[in-house]
Amino acid sequence: MDVASQLQAVAVNSPVSDYTIPDLALPRGDLWVFGYGSVMWRPGFDYMERRPGRLHGYHRALCVWSWFHRGSPNSPGLVLGLDVGGSCNGIAYRVDASDKHAAADYLYHRELVTDGYEAMLVRVYLNDGPVTAPVTAPVTALCFRANRQHPQYAGKLDHGHAADVVRQSKGNSGANPDYVASAVEQLQVMGINDRALANINRLVAEGS
C-alpha cells in the first residue's frame, strides 16, 4: 500500500468528534487567543482587541493533513499548523473574561475535531504596530499546535507535492486552494513574506 492509500485508510477509520476538551486551565481574567492560520482572517468569536503578535519556539507550516475542514477521508487536504522551531508572527485577540469560556468552547469544537492538533497556552509578544515594531511584554495565549504523534502530521513536504494535494482537495469549510490563498493574502497585509506558503500558492494557481 502506498503512502496516499495508507493515509486514506487512516482517515476513513479515524474518529471525528463533536467536541474534545483539552486538559487546560484557562488563565484568570481576559483570555488572549493567538491565530496563525484561518483564525487570523476568520476568528469566529467575539473579542475586544486585535493586535499583531509573535510566538517563539514554533513556526507556521502547511504540515497537517485535513480530512474534515479542507479535505475528505478519500482526498485529505493540507492546513497550517505550528511546528517546532523558529518563530511565528500572527494575530492575538483579547477576549473579555465573561466571554472567554464561550470562545474557548468554540475553538475546541472547531480545531479539535480530531487529535491532529493540541491546545496549549503560550507566551505571545504583542506589537504596537507593524510586525517589525518593538514588542511589548508577553501575554499568555491559547493556541493550537500540530500533533506530531498523530497520523495527520504531514511534516515537511515537497512544495510541488503539497500544491498537488491542495489543488484537488475540498472539505466542510471550503476548498483547500481558497484556504491557502487567504493565508497568503492575510500575511501580505501584515507585511509578512512566507516564501514557502507563497510558493505553494503560486504552484496551485499555475496547475489549475
Instruction: Give me the catalytic one of 49, 111, 185, 206.
Output: 111
Identity of the residue numbered 30: D
Strands, E, within 96-201: which ranges?
117-127, 135-146, 170-171, 174-175
Question: Rounded to an integer, what distance in angstroms lies between the CA atom of residue 182 and that of residue 180?
Answer: 5
- Cβ contacts of 182 within 8 Å, gap of 6 or more: 38, 41
Structural contact between residues 19 and 109, judged by C-beta atoms closer than 8 angstroms: yes
- Cβ contacts of 68 within 8 Å, gap of 6 or more: 16, 113, 114, 171, 172, 173
Question: Rounded to an integer, what distance in angstroms lies between the CA atom of residue 98 and that of residue 106?
Answer: 14
Give the HSE-up count for residue 127: Cα atoms under 13 Å, Cβ half-sphere.
17
111 as an active site residue: the answer is yes
Which residues are marked as active site?
111
